[in-house]
Structure 1
């Protein structure tokens, strides 16, 4: 079968290749709680290439050659002998581990039952959901109630568009940030307040709003660099601040350390800084797919690429700050 793989650590432009001679997983080799999925599409995420660009660290955490692509959707081709609630021929979406085993940017993928959910026929671009949806759901749902005030730093990307919508579904007042050209998108998704970071200081806008947030989800990570260190002005004491993504500059790291280590009376932050790692969860995926089927949640797709252009798609994710998700069409299963 065909699969896009990293053969070694390094920049994706030089290391991602299309391998046309990868062994197809055998149905007979499935573990009891595994499924074999014929992939129809793969949704791309920054983590798909960032891990491989960590140099020697990548050698420690990845097994090469590494088939990429955490998020996939397709049709079940076979099931393990303890999978009783999903049948061959069912349409499923799921999330492969970014570290262990092959990913979904291939014609077939093996997945754990706990990492997939069935989706309804009316759902389009299902591979855009898993990582973005799980990340947004897991950083918001356990920490809010109706009326909670939340700030989403970066509301127009794959995770951000999910965060804005899930916040509104759960009854929150949502403030978010994005660039000038994406403000209309964030407003259409339901954001109550949208800050244009191209024209304004996000921190100054938050300080001047007079709100104390119950939760901050930071999908950007490096802009503004003082978002957490200045958060005493707009984040409630002991309220969670989730760092989800982005690249950390030396300046940002320095400010984070001061804010985390110093006591509040010396300028330390009162909020709780948390590095977030997305977890596969069947109940969470099922809740998200139910919202998709009901029309409460929308998948925002920036571009779709054919399978043969998957490297170009990954470079686009890396360099162009997509408006929503980027999807690679793998096969005609839908």
Structure 2
């Protein structure tokens, strides 16, 4: 039997956009009378009252594609994919979670009803129980960044392998360093001068200040050392093309969240004979998996991974949070408090 949602208000507070012209943050409007999703839940759906959510570059980059995105998503729409909160209703076939339990998870894009809202509907296979001792703010950062880092590293390396991470201070980078270390790898990571101590504290064995050295030349001098390279930045432009100088034969160069998708595609399809890269190239797209959400949550519970939070913003300050995200200066993740935990 489906849990009755008729006692839950049919409207909610949410940040909405109908246009992204000039940037998502310039178009967000706060509403206290937004339509609540999940008026009638499907058998495998869960209605969650959102306590915390975190934002990702995809939250503004994908909607800013423009007309193509609006062809598949109705507006007004709410941004956001990551969340933590409390289960308030479940569909008839949901067995993994119950009303009143604290959970976290991730909803997919494209989606009209994102997590920068008081309520969110998610499939039960992407809703995970909050591990004991894990903070809701921390769990709210797992969805995109935590899963991406786990998926790009796990299965590609083993204990003792060397991993190179270009961009160790961002959302995925801070997770990637810690997950690689939890798997027993040696980690070299790049960052700017102001983030050196942070990246060292996360466990990186070597930190390269990319503002102070010629990164490609530095790596070339080391010789083929690494079993995996993760590039979060997409710069310097010749990094992949020169990767055979620092990646072991047959080992992958994984691209995560490059700003220039056309540039990325060009690197992938350019034949080696015409100056393309000589190592396997992976363009990383995360997959939303219950097991991966659970695994990252367990790593946090065990203290092997500690989410890095750049700042926690109140719901009314969501625009400031997006401005901070777009600045590319955030260290780790940006969290927005949606509902006070005591009133969820």
Q: Same fold (TM over 0.5)?
A: yes
Q: Match for residue 244 of structure 1? A: 256
| Offset at residue 51 of structure 1 (A) | 1.2
- Contact 2:224–2:244 (CA under 8 A) maintained in structure 1: no
Return the alpha-carbon distance in structure 1 between the equivalents of residues 193 and 204 of structure 2.
Answer: 15
- Contact 1:228–1:259 (CA under 8 A) maintained in structure 2: no
Task: In structure 2, list runs of 5 or more residues that go unmatched.
Answer: 1-11
Task: In structure 1, list runs of 5 or more residues that go unmatched.
Answer: none
Q: Helix, strand or coil: the match of 2:155? A: helix
- Contact 1:39–1:333 (CA under 8 A) maintained in structure 2: no
Q: How does 1:103-182 map to 2 (within 5 A)?
A: 103-124=114-135, 125=137, 126-182=139-195
1:231 aligns with 2:231: no
Q: Helix, strand or coil: the match of 1:43? A: strand
In structure 2, the CA distance between the partners of 1:320 and 1:267, relative to structure 1 (3 Å rule), is: closer
Q: Match for residue 13 of structure 1? A: 25
| Offset at residue 75 of structure 1 (A) | 0.5
| Offset at residue 326 of structure 1 (A) | 0.6
Q: Helix, strand or coil: the match of 1:302? A: strand
- Contact 1:36–1:109 (CA under 8 A) maintained in structure 2: yes
In structure 2, the CA distance between the partners of 1:61 and 1:233, relative to structure 1 (3 Å rule), is: farther
Q: Helix, strand or coil: the match of 1:66? A: coil
| Offset at residue 57 of structure 1 (A) | 3.1
Return the alpha-carbon distance in structure 1 between the equivalents of residues 279 and 172 of structure 2.
Answer: 22
| Offset at residue 159 of structure 1 (A) | 0.6
Q: How does 1:196-235 map to 2 (within 5 A)?
A: 196-221=209-234, 223-235=235-247
- Contact 2:224–2:248 (CA under 8 A) maintained in structure 1: no
Q: Match for residue 325 of structure 2? A: 317
1:40 aligns with 2:37: no
| CA deviation string 1:99-135 (max 9, x = no partner) | 1341111000001111121112421212112111001
| Offset at residue 19 of structure 1 (A) | 2.2
In structure 2, the CA distance between the partners of 1:61 and 1:193, relative to structure 1 (3 Å rule), is: farther
In structure 2, the CA distance between the partners of 1:258 and 1:123, relative to structure 1 (3 Å rule), is: closer
| Offset at residue 204 of structure 1 (A) | 1.4
- Contact 1:9–1:56 (CA under 8 A) maintained in structure 2: no
User: What TM-score does the superposition give when structure 1 sets the normalisation length?
Assistant: 0.93
- Contact 1:106–1:330 (CA under 8 A) maintained in structure 2: yes
- Contact 2:188–2:204 (CA under 8 A) maintained in structure 1: yes
Superposed CA RMSD in Å reads: 1.8
Q: 2:68 is matched with which residue: 43, 57, 60?
A: 57
Q: Match for residue 3 of structure 2? A: none
Return the alpha-carbon distance in structure 2 between the equivalents of residues 85 and 257 of structure 1.
Answer: 44
Return the alpha-carbon distance in structure 1 between the equivalents of residues 292 and 70 of structure 2.
Answer: 31
Return the alpha-carbon distance in structure 1 between the equivalents of residues 292 and 328 of structure 2.
Answer: 29
Alignment: residue pair count: 328
Q: Helix, strand or coil: the match of 1:239? A: strand
